[in-house]
Structure 1
């Protein structure tokens, strides 16, 4: 929002959306005034909820009138202007966008985990290849040691046997590690990577089993509380609109019965008048 628009919005809040109307002309603001934020009248304005977050909607282009907000529930127009339906549609769009963000982050996390599993499998394959290489080296050393012994080269034979024993220890260490399911050695940068998870409410990427203070900080954050409130409000609005539709249907049915009774009464009156004429 530009500085000019921000200033205009602030003046609207302070002086009302009709601040530029000529003196003497009607400046009354009504519920359905196009400059008034209907979401704020019904409950709350989502534009205020995510300021300076990844879900920031920007400043609301309409006026938040506290007086109209207080008057609306007492008005005979309450739940009859379609504001609740508009509010539900807007919140549902925000919730759908959030659900897409959650799915996207879950897919990213899954891809990351699969990539990590591939690295783990690759390390195991390398260990197996290393064991095969060590087996060949040990066989080679023992064969050369045997030949050196036959040739009377005692010192060389002893050296080759000791080398084979060292190679055998390396192989045994790999076998022990694989059999005990001990974590494979990883580079420092990989060992520092935290296990992540996706918040099912707001879609934020979180460190699994993080410190309690950071967990609480997230739960009390704008995005988490905002999308939690949106989800609860959507359910409340659906119930509210269900009752509104029931009331409307009941009113229509009452009106139909009233008109039918009037028509029947007219028919009876007409029949009485005809009998009296005879």
Structure 2
């Protein structure tokens, strides 16, 4: 694949000097560059909104939060190259220290594409990591019906509901005691958050499952939080439908070693000893 149009999106708090280093690497190739408004302002370039970038690949510089935000904004099926400049960086194969070599491989077309499942949430949203429906008032339970494929119904009371993709299984889902799922697994996790009854455990359902989450209590709102961003307030009686998206998150990868998912997780969490 010939790369000729490249977008650059960075964490708004990132030092401009680090962004310029990435830009210098990209300038070594015959490519046209586009920058999101935060990045453009830092390096005095013309801005382009993330959702308006018509590019072959978007280079993402930051941490997993930046990568998740960008994945929700860019046009579907746009290639994503995450460069870790933040913390753990589960979604990134390269860091600022190795970015030069990675970008040269990108421009040569020396890479492969890893496709990760996304979920659609209602009619408006998609997630790569997780969705949370949570109470707006501390110490106040919500009541849910979880309806699987329009037939099987689970009723429960809890502080909230977490719906996680395999990619998101290393995040909030993991802190709830749920398993880490390989990102290529065709399934997703549905987990109550602090359920009233202990027997309301998390379930793993096939990716073909259509999940309807109903807020069945008579009063009390809930927050809908998608990949770390609060999207809207859901009033009592609201239903939200989750299903596998027709789109995937398409990541640029350079090495087959990155597919050694569990080893990467152990090392980045400090479990390698």
More strand by share: 2
TM-score, normalised relative to structure 1? 0.21
Higher helix share: 1
With normalisation by structure 2, the TM-score equals: 0.21
Structure label with greater radius of gyration: 1
